[in-house]
Each structure stands twice: as structure tokens, then as C-alpha cells.
Amino acid sequence: MTEMLTIDTGHTAWILISMALVQLMLPGLAFFYAGLLHRKSVVTMIMQNYASMGVVTVLWFLVGFSLCFGKSAGHIIGSPATFGAFKDVGAAPLSHDGGKSAVVDDIPGIVFAGYQGMFAVITPALMTGAFADRLRFAPYLVFICLWILLVYCPFCHWVWGSDGWMGNWGVKDFAGGIVVHTTAGFSCLGAVHFLGSRAKIMGGNKPDNTPHNIPFVALGTALLWFGWFGFNGGSALASTGGAAYAAVNSEIAASTALTAWMLIDWYRMGRPSLVGVCVGAIAGLATITPCAGFVQPWAAFCIGLIAAVFCFGCCELKNKLKWDDALDVWGVHGMGGAIGSILIGVFADEAVGGVQASGKLLGKQIAAVTIAAVYSYAASMLLLLLIGTVFRLKPTLGEIVDVDKSFHGESAYTDAESDSKYAGTAFDPSKFQNMGGKKESGTADIDVEIPPVRAGASATA
């Protein structure tokens, strides 16, 4: 090992912390999505997100990391033999040439692999909110495994790999506007169009789109926002001024988009909405992601405003076209990531991240986003078509009424008339009659009928 491949403890500590922050985003996403759904889809949504955490990490260890960052095969994909099962990924900086040069300076290869794995884990989970209630669990697992290998890994290599063709061409993506948000957003749109609406499965009945637990949505937003400092700030891959720009720009864009979305809701509905505030913040974070380390804070403010107006408009367009993207994943993540990636060509400042806005860069960004959108959409539909030849993809009418029970045999909330009596949690007024066996003098018998308490009722929207 040559002396040039040294480890900086400060940089390493920051990326380790960032890895933990990004990992926390997935439980945050699960709560965010689960709160927006009805109460009989909560377990299914959280299960899909947590399953991604497990299954994708295994794939990442075995072959995914090598496909993304291994020695390039024709600028298209990394060789699975380079770092398969984390071979030669250790405490020294990652290298393709036996330690003569580093793929990423100053941090251990094992830290870089772990950090990048968190991005792979959360990307397919983003899609789950779009096709909620319409994809059974077994085909879902097959879908995300194939999707990681055939969609995420190629784009990750093309943009972030050491010799990927998009990166060589000059396409920029600081933290995942193209690699994460555009691919997931347009893939889930393809899935929505392939699987069809929930109303068709329900025999024409309109699905319940009322958020069942708004505090869950707020909690999920808080965890996502907190973790996003590692998502964007950690993408500098060093504890430097670039990381500081990325973190602060993320805060500015999210806060600006939150405020603008709140005002839009206030104007349109006559009152502000907590759900709208939360969605606005996520739109701002998704949109600033690709340019967080390339722009000045004043540009982050402008991007936050653009995110709110543009993403809100995309969500309204989806409603008008009657696309059953249940939780607006395409409008917020897909289109937010896409417009943020394009805006690098408008707002990038060389003094911040070494990238200068120009017409040439703008054209490359538009081309890359278009390729990502079309490829991801088509790949998603093709994968589901192939998986559907082996598995039944969609639930039946009987199953979709209560997907938690149908898919997993569990309920997020116990019902007094059924489950809770077996768990011993049903409220029994008789237990509270004549407490202590004596009546205090001077008191009167009061017969009060107390209705059974349903768990979670106080949080039901």
C-alpha cells in the first residue's frame, strides 16, 4: 500500500455518521407513507420499506456495490468480480489497481461501501407509496431485487462510477436527483400505469385517500429531514466546506418549499394543512438533492420556491389525469429530482463545487434526466410484465379491503370487537364497578356507560 492512500479520521467520522443518518431515513419514509394511508395498509407499507432495508443490503453486499463502483466494463456497468461480496473492500481507501490510486480519497473503502449502500436501500422503497395496496409481497420482493440490478446499478455506475459514460460526458448529480429520485419516481409511475388503479380492483369503489394518522406523517417528515443532512451533506464524501454548503442549502430549500406549499394550500383551501407542510418540505429536499453541493444559498432559496410550485403543479396534473399514484411519489420525488437535476445547469457556481452553470451543461442535464425517465419507466413496466408470468401481482377484491391481514396476518391497530379481546386489551366497564368493594359515604351511585376505546382512535384523521 502506497503512502498516498491515507485515511483522514475527520472525513471518515463524518461519512460514518452520514451512513447512520441515511439509514434512519428509511424508517422515516415508512412512517411518512404509512400515516398518509388508511389504517388497514399500515403494516404492509412499513413491511415493504423494512424488507427493502434487508433484501437490498444483502444484494448490495453480494454484487450491487461492485456493479456500481467496480472496474468499468465498457463504461456501462461495473464488473461483479471487482468488489463482489466486498472483496478487497477494507480499511484502506477503495482502489481498482491494488492500492496505487484511490477511487475515493481519505476514507476507508468499507465506509464508502456502507454509505453508498444506504442510497441503494432507500431508492426502491421510495416507489412503494405510489403503488400502495396493489402489489403483493412476493412479487414486490422480486421486483425490487431485479430493479436494483437492472435500473439502479446501471445509473449509479453511469453517473457516479469511476468510468461511467454519463459522468465522463459531464453529467452532474451531487446526491441523487437522477440516480435516486428520477429513477424511482418514473419507475413507480410505470408501475402505477401497469397495475392500474385501486378503484378497478375494488369494483369501481373509490379508495379511501384520507391520511389515517397525521402525526405519523409529521414524525416521518422529521426523521427524513434529519437524515437528509447525511444524504446530501455526506455526498461530499468529506467533512469540508462542500459538505457544509450541501447541508445548509438543504435546510434553506426545504424550509422555503415548506413555507411556499403552506401558502399555496392556505390560498386554495382557506386554511393551512400540516400534511401539505410536510409534503412541501420533502419536495424541497428532493429538488435540492442533485444540486446541494453545487449552488450558493441564494440559489437554494430559489430552488425551494421552484420546488413548491412545480411539484404542487405536478401533483395536480396527476389528479387531473387520474393516475392513481397514491402518495404523489412521481410528482414530489420523480419530478422534483428531475427539475433539480436540470437546474444545476442554471444555478451551479464554480466557487461552491467546481461546477459552473452553462447552456452546454443545461443541455446535458436535460438529456440525462430524459434518459433516466424513459429508461426507468419502460424497465418498470417490462419487469412487472415478466414477473406477472410467474406470480399473481395484484390483490383480489377480498384482499385489498384489508391488505395488512391478507398479506401479513397482522393489524396496526386492534379492534375492540375482534382482536383486542384475545389480547386482553378490550375495555370492560364491569371491572370498574364498585372498585374496592365499598362505597364512600356521601357519594351516590352513578351509572355511566363508557364506550370501548379503540387503539389509535385519537390519532385517526
Q: Which of 160, 171, 122 is nearest to 285 (CA)?
A: 122
Does position 423 have pLDDT exceeding 60, yes or no? no
- Other beta carbons within 10 angstroms of residue 282's beta carbon come to 26
Rounded-to-integer distance, Cα 256 and Cα 248, Å = 12
Q: Which of 326, 316, 320, 312 is nearest to 206 (CA)?
A: 326
By the 10 Å C-beta count (0-12 exposed, 13-18 middle, 19+ buried), 344 is classed as: buried
Q: So what's the pLDDT on residue 437?
A: 44
Tens-place pLDDT, residues 347-364: 999 999 999 999 999 999
- Other beta carbons within 10 angstroms of residue 428's beta carbon come to 11
Kindly report the average pLDDT of the chain as a whole number: 91
How does DSSP assign 376-441, residue by residue? HHHHHHHHHHHHTTTS--S--HHHHTTHHHHHHS--SS--TTTHHHHHT-S--GGGGTTGGG---T
Does position 421 have pLDDT exceeding 70, yes or no? no
Banded pLDDT at 417 (limits 50, 70, 90): very low
Does position 1 have pLDDT exceeding 60, yes or no? no
**Buried-exposed string 34-62: b where 16+ CB fall within 10 A, e elsewhere:** bbbbbbbbbbbbbbbbebbbebbbebbbe
C-alpha cell, 15: 461519512
Q: Which of 289, 295, 324, 319 is nearest to 307 (CA)?
A: 289
Q: pTM for this structure?
A: 0.89
Q: So what's the pLDDT on residue 415?
A: 64
Q: Which CATH number describes the domain made up of 9-225+243-400?
A: 1.10.3430.10
Q: So what's the pLDDT on residue 416?
A: 44
Q: Which of 27, 113, 35, 131 is nearest to 67 (CA)?
A: 113
Tens-place pLDDT, residues 312-323: 999 999 999 999
Q: So what's the pLDDT on residue 54?
A: 97
Q: So what's the pLDDT on residue 98?
A: 83
**Mean pLDDT throughout 80-101?**
93
C-alpha cell, 151: 435500473
Tens-place pLDDT, residues 7-27: 999 999 999 999 999 999 999
**Mean pLDDT throughout 69-90?**
96
Q: Are 201 and 195 in contact (CB under 8 A)?
A: no
- Other beta carbons within 10 angstroms of residue 456's beta carbon come to 15
Rounded-to-integer distance, Cα 303 and Cα 282, Å = 13
Banded pLDDT at 100 (limits 50, 70, 90): confident
Banded pLDDT at 205 (limits 50, 70, 90): confident
**Mean pLDDT throughout 185-201?**
96
Q: So what's the pLDDT on residue 422?
A: 39
Under DSSP, the state recorded for 293 is: T
Tens-place pLDDT, residues 145-167: 999 999 999 999 999 998 999 99
Residue spans of the domains in the chain: they are 9-225+243-400
Does position 426 have pLDDT exceeding 60, yes or no? no
Q: So what's the pLDDT on residue 448?
A: 41
Crossing angle of the two packed helices 109-126 and 42-59, in degrees rounded to 10: 150
Tens-place pLDDT, residues 387-412: 999 999 999 999 999 999 999 999 99
Q: What is the 3-state secondary structure (H, E, C) of 31-46?
A: HHHHHHCCCCCHHHHH
Does position 34 have pLDDT exceeding 60, yes or no? yes
Does position 459 have pLDDT exceeding 60, yes or no? no
Dihedral in degrees, nearest 10, Cα atoms 44, 380, 56, 251: -80
Residues forming beta bridges with residue 460, ordered by sequence position: 213
Q: So what's the pLDDT on residue 387?
A: 98
Does position 246 have pLDDT exceeding 50, yes or no? yes
C-alpha cell, 320: 387531473
Cα angle, residue 54 at apex, residues 82 and 162 outer, rounded to 5°: 30
R_g of the chain, CA atoms, integer Å: 24
Lowest mean pLDDT among 3-7, 54-58, 353-357, 380-384: 3-7
Rounded-to-integer distance, Cα 232 and Cα 353, Å = 13
